[in-house]
Structure 1
Amino acid sequence: MAFRAELRPLSPGPVGDVALRDDLGLGCAPIGNLYTPVADDDAVATVRAALDDGVRFFDTAPHYGAGESERRLGLALQGVPRDDYVIATKVGRRIVDAAGDPVAGSASGHDTVADLSRDGVLRSLEASLARLRTDRIDLLHLHDPLDVDAGLAGAMTALVELRDQGVVRAIGVGMGRLAPLIRFAAEAPVDVIMEAGRLTLLDRTAEDELLPLTASRGIGVIAAGVYNTGILVAPQTAPYYEYKPAPPELVARALALQDACRAHGVELATAAARFPLRHGAEGVVIGARTPTEVAAFVHGHDVRIPDALWSELDRIAAPGTAVS
């Protein structure tokens, strides 16, 4: 699979001897201080490492670091021809300061709050363009719109207008909850759905209804959260699932997946990152905060995974089951 045309660079430019990664994106939540602070220089080095390794799709949001992820991504991409890369960002949340008041202009803040209004979308996009130091966004997602009716009536109307006007190339919805995603896929004229954590080695519930629906409507699927927040990278030392300690049964399944991968000389994280591409996703977005982390997931993308391992992982993971 590969990102559809609207999500690929207009002119990717030379990448030397490195392959262009047309189904792999860098998730920029980590450079927005997710879990731990990140210095500007380190964030820039991470983005540049991704570029050097052929990655041209960058996913960010105002919510990531209350503006810091966008600001740092914009800083890192300065001097790179705009047609050489793709930026995906999001709307639907308003940046606020420590007192809960909206920040002025393109400033970073303390937190974000939901804002699914049409005007909120337009204000958010204007501020994102300034933080990213660019004149256009390629893919604009509605971010975690739990109130589907409000999102359809307000934010989505603005997204459609922006696409029709050529301000953005494509529009979508990004979140980890299936029921709202299914409604948006069924009722909104989106180009792309970004699901987070519902198409993984441990939770394949997107296959039940979401993937058949998106396929029938010609909607692309981008997979995020492929590690389920840690357990599919290091089930022994970081057994976290959906941002909290995983239950023992889930840890046991993850350890069994890891054992199967090791028996075939493959890292669990490598199989986890590749899994969605075998099951309907046209691209995968993976977060990183250092060049070393970038190298790990990019180079893992080239590892050969035998069919026998996939069969074993399918057997262990109990396809179609969700874990609470």
Structure 2
Amino acid sequence: MKLDRILPADIGFGSAPLGNMFRSVPEEEAEATVDAAWEQGTRYFDTAPFYGSGLAEIRLGKALSGRPRDDYVLSTKVGRVILDEEEDPAERDLGEKGNLFAHGCPNKMLHVWTADATKRSIEDSLTRLRTDRLDIVWVHDIAQDFHGDVWLQKIEEARTGAFRVLTRLRDEGVIKAWGLGVNRTEPIEITLALEEPQPDGFLLAGRYTLLDHAHALQRLLPMAEEQGLGMVVGGPYSSGILAGGTHFEYVDAPPEIVSKVDRLKELATRHGVSIKAAALQFSLAHPVAKAVVPGATQPAHTIEDHAALNEKVPPEFWADLRASGLVSELAPLPDGA
């Protein structure tokens, strides 16, 4: 099923921060953030076992447990199986992501995309999320940033395992849709070129933002548009640097990124535009984009996100943004700028 027939609105809730990403988040703060998102009208929630070794799913499941299940859309991911065995979260090998979830649960994670692992992952997620069904399942992180030179082997493992299991579940009506949830464009491009049952869309994190979008525009997004697929934009604030934080690609932002953000903020300030509004509305301007899922761990952040989505941005801002060279000439902008 196409994503635009499933997703209830342009904005969803990304739950990675609930897995204690970068810091230890108090339980009451996590629950209050989900409650605030709901009160703002959020009805799409995305999560993954990877986020804090099941912690984000547990917290999201608890926060949503009193809500009517038919009233919201839920997606999670496969590719990580969480074990009862413990390990030191700070010593995990997460590729380019460093110790992203050093404050998460100590449960050991297996990185595996086989058919059996996919089925187990879904069953475990249903338990942690306190629900009887999932709407969308993303195949998580079969890309270079986690696996280096062997990333193509992970795609093959997923092709013969997760892809086929999820296709069957979709065809049987158990789930509504499946796709890839990755931080790189190449795994999606390879998948869309396969002569096999195709995904219904994809979640692309960090690759279609104000700071980083040129590569996605070269091949992936034209392919997706031609095939009629939709994209969920993850990480629209580029790991936080576009929302007042200091991280880009989950690590401290390098000087050249800080300089570019300063230029974007100066332009936004000149037009009386919030940088969050510029970031969210830019990501949604591409016809393939069906929703953005910013993450949050404070109630105020979700309120800001909804306000930014609805903020009136003058056409002159987009025209000046184009003229500044800060965005690709191929990037669609709101108001046709």
Name the TM tier (shorter chain).
Answer: 0.7 to 0.9
Q: Unpaired runs of 5+ in structure 1?
A: 9-21, 101-107
Q: Match for residue 221 of structure 1?
A: 231
Matched, 1:319 2:319: no
The alignment's C-alpha RMSD in Å is 1.9
1:35 matches 2:44: no
- 1:199 to partner: Cα distance: 0.8
Cα distance in 2 for residues equivalent to 1:55 and 1:119: 33
Aligned to 1:86: 73
| Residue pair 1:7, 1:170 contacting (<8 A) in 2 also | no
2:138 is matched with 141
Conserved 8 A contact 1:92-1:114? yes
In the alignment, which residue of structure 1 is the partner of 2:182?
175
- The answer to whether the aligner puts 1:166 opposite 2:173 as a matched pair is yes
Name the TM-score, length of structure 1 as normaliser: 0.87
Which of 66, 91, 98 in structure 1 is aligned with 2:86? 98
Change (3 A) 1:318 1:48: closer
Superposed displacement of residue 53, structure 1? 0.6
Does residue 1:306 correspond to 2:306, yes or no?
no
SS of equivalent to 2:48: coil
Q: Distance between the aligned counterparts of 2:290 and 2:312, measured in 1?
A: 19
- Deviation, structure 1 residue 99: 4.2
CA contact (8 A) 2:210 2:327 kept: no
Match of 2:128 among 121, 131, 138: 131
Letter in 1 for 2:131: T
Percent identity, aligned pairs only? 39
Q: Which residue of 1 aligns with 2:101?
A: none
CA contact (8 A) 1:62 1:128 kept: yes
SS at match of 1:24: coil
1:201 aligns with 2:189: no
Amino acid at match of 1:81: P
- Give the whole-Å Cα distance in 2 for the aligned partners of 1:290 and 1:99: 28
The partner residue of 1:150 within 157, 177, 189 is: 157
CA contact (8 A) 1:223 1:283 kept: yes
Is this contact kept in 1: 2:33–2:302, CA < 8 A? yes
How much has 1:270 moved relative to structure 2? 1.9
Matched, 1:259 2:266: yes
**Hey, which bits of structure 1, 4+ residues long, moved more than 3 A?**
none
- Choose 120-129 or 42-51, whichever is displaced more: 42-51
Q: Give 1:58 deviation, angstroms.
A: 0.2
- Aligned residues of 2:16 and 2:47 also touching (Cα < 8 A): yes
- AA of the residue aligned to 1:214: A
Aligned residue number for residue 7 of structure 1: 7
Return the match for 1:231 from 231, 241, 260.
241
Partners of 2:228 and 2:106 lie apart in 1 by: 37
Show the counterpart of 2:98.
Answer: none
For structure 2, list consecutive stretches of 5 or more residues without a partner in the other structure. 89-104, 144-153, 331-337
- AA at the equivalent of 1:43: A
Aligned counterparts of 1:24 and 1:297: Cα–Cα separation in 2: 8
Query: What amino acid is aligned across from residue 114 of structure 2 in structure 1?
Result: S
Pairing of 1:236-315 with structure 2 (within 5 A): 238-280=245-287, 281-314=289-322, 315=324
* Change in 2 beyond 3 A, CA 1:185/1:320: farther
Q: CA deviation at 1:137?
A: 0.1
SS in 2 for 1:194: strand
Question: Which amino acid letter does the alignment assign opposite residue 156 of structure 2?
Answer: D
Q: How far apart, in 2, do the equivalents of 1:291 and 1:139 lie?
A: 25
Aligned residues: 297
Q: Secondary structure of 1:145's partner?
A: coil
TM superposition score normalised by structure 2: 0.84
1:3: how far off? 5.3
Deviations 1:263-322 (A, max 9, x none): 11111122112211112311100101011111111111110111221122233424179x
Match of 1:120 in 2: 117
1:104 matched residue in structure 2: none
| SS of residue in 1 equivalent to 2:45 | strand
